[in-house]
Amino acid sequence: MVVLRIVHILAGAFWVGSAITIFLFLQPAAREVGPAAGPLMTHLAQKKRLPDIALGAAGLTILAGLLMYWRVSDGLNGDWITSAYGLAITVGALCAIAAVSLGASVVRPSMLRAGAIAASAAAAGGPTPEQTAEIQALQAKVRSTGNVIVPLLVIAVAAMASAQYL
């Protein structure tokens, strides 16, 4: 349990910190800077693999959390799950699972696609109007999904941090 808890907390801290940094700081700054931010965002997504690393941390967080949940709930004992502690942990877990699902199904593919378009456009000497429109649509999709992911992660962290005191 100690190892699971350490993995859960460290990976979760990285995941939540990454999400907050990306959605509340990097993306708004890139939007304000405009096209000049494209190479940096492409580099973060494709060369540094930030979406993959953040999702890897999310996966470790979820896996360790589910293993601990199974053990602490005594194999999904209904009395434990419906206790105040169990409900808080369950709500936190469901919010985290929803957040990682949105990250994997919407954010990562959108960031990678926008990066690929930007790289192709840079190699061709600049984006076409169609490429610009597609990149902007993908960025809007990521931004709106981030507006859901960040609150889900905040709820997950708050629920899990406070569960033992309920």
- Dump pLDDT digits (tens) for 136-157: 999 999 999 999 999 999 999 9
Cβ atoms 108, 51 nearer than 8 A:
yes
User: Domain residue spans in the chain?
Assistant: 2-165
- Dump pLDDT digits (tens) for 47-85: 899 989 999 999 999 999 999 999 999 999 999 999 999
Q: CA 102, CA 139: separation in Å to the nearest integer?
A: 15
104: closest CA among 56, 154, 46, 156? 56
Q: What is the dihedral of CA 49, 55, 57, 60, to 10 degrees?
A: -140
pTM above 0.85, yes or no: yes
Query: How much is the average pLDDT of 76-99?
Result: 97
Angle between helices 50-72 and 84-102 (to 10 degrees): 160
